[in-house]
C-alpha cells in the first residue's frame, strides 16, 4: 500500500517541531541556549540601568550618550528577555518566515525504499536511512528529523492511502 501525505506549515506545527527538537538536542543544551537569551537580557538591563544612573551627573554630549546607552540597553534587554520567554514560538515564527509562501504546503509520497517530499517549487527524494535520524509522533503529526534542527512535519490529517498505525 502506497502512503501519501500533505502538510501545510503553520506556526502551531512548527512550534511543536521546535519543542521536540529541544528534546532531541537534550535538556542541558536547550536550557543553555534559552538561558543565554535570558543572560543577555539581564546584561543589557544592567547596561540600561548604568546609563540611567549616569544621567544625573552628566552634561552635554555625555548626557546624550548616556541616554542613548540607556535606551538601547533597555530595548535589547526587552528583546532578549522576550525571546527567552517565547523561545519556541520565536523560532517557529522565524522558521515560518524563512519558508517561501509557495513552499508552505509539502506533499509526501512514501515509496518502498525512499520518500519523495515536494512543494510547489522543488522536489526531493530521500532514502529512508539517509533521511530520517529520528521520527517523533505527536497527537497531530509525525516529525521526521534530519539531525536535530532540520526535518519535515507530516500532519496525520493529511495522510492518505492507509491508516496512521500502518505508516
pLDDT digits over 123-166, tens only?
888 877 766 567 888 888 988 887 667 888 989 888 887 767 77
pLDDT in tens, 113-126: 888 889 888 888 88
- What is residue 131's predicted lDDT score, i.e. its pLDDT? 64
Single out the residue of 83, 75, 35, 82 nearest to residue 51, CA to CA.
Answer: 75
How many CB atoms are closer than 10 A to CB 100?
11
Alpha-carbon distance of 95 to 91, in angstroms, equals 6
Q: Binning pLDDT at 50, 70 and 90, where does residue 26 land?
A: confident
Q: What is the mean pLDDT of the chain?
A: 88
Q: Binning pLDDT at 50, 70 and 90, where does residue 88 land?
A: very high
Alpha-carbon distance of 158 to 163, in angstroms, equals 11
* Distance of alpha carbon 126 from the chain centroid: 23
Q: Is 80 exceeded by the pLDDT of residue 167?
A: no
pTM above 0.85, yes or no: no
CA distances from 88 to 14, 28, 60, 94 (A): 9, 16, 43, 10
Question: Which residues are CB-neighbours of 31 under 8 A, at least 6 positions away?
Answer: none
> Per-residue b/e over 66-98, b at no fewer than 16 CB within 10 Å?
beebbeebbebbeebbebbeebbbbbbeebeee
3-class secondary structure, 107:
strand
167 touches 110 (CB < 8 A) = yes
Q: Is 60 exceeded by the pLDDT of residue 1?
A: no
Q: Binning pLDDT at 50, 70 and 90, where does residue 13 land?
A: very high
Report, in this order, helix, strand and coil percent for the chain, each rounded to 5: 55, 25, 20
Q: Is 70 exceeded by the pLDDT of residue 107?
A: yes
Strand partners for 146: 150
- What is residue 133's predicted lDDT score, i.e. its pLDDT? 65
Single out the residue of 116, 118, 113, 143 nearest to residue 129, CA to CA.
Answer: 113
Q: Binning pLDDT at 50, 70 and 90, where does residue 2 land?
A: confident
Amino acid at each position: 500500500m502506497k502512503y501519501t501525505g500533505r502538510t501545510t506549515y503553520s506556526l502551531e506545527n512548527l512550534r511543536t517541531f521546535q519543542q521536540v527538537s529541544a528534546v532531541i538536542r537534550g535538556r542541558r543544551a536547550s536550557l543553555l541556549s534559552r538561558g543565554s537569551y535570558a543572560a543577555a537580557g539581564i546584561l543589557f538591563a544592567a547596561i540600561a540601568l548604568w546609563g540611567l544612573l549616569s544621567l544625573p551627573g552628566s552634561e552635554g554630549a555625555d548626557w546624550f550618550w548616556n541616554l542613548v546607552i540607556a535606551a538601547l540597553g533597555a530595548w535589547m534587554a526587552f528583546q532578549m528577555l522576550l525571546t527567552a520567554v517565547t523561545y519556541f514560538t520565536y523560532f517557529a515564527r522565524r522558521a515560518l518566515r524563512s519558508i517561501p509562501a509557495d513552499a508552505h504546503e509539502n506533499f509526501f509520497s512514501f515509496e518502498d525504499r525512499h520518500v519523495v517530499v515536494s512543494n510547489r517549487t522543488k522536489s526531493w527524494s530521500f532514502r529512508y536511512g539517509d533521511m530520517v535520524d529520528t521520527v517523533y509522533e505527536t497527537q497531530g503529526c509525525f516529525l521526521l528529523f534530519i539531525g536535530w534542527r532540520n526535518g519535515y512535519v507530516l500532519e496525520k490529517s493529511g495522510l492518505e492511502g492507509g491508516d496512521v498505525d500502518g505508516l
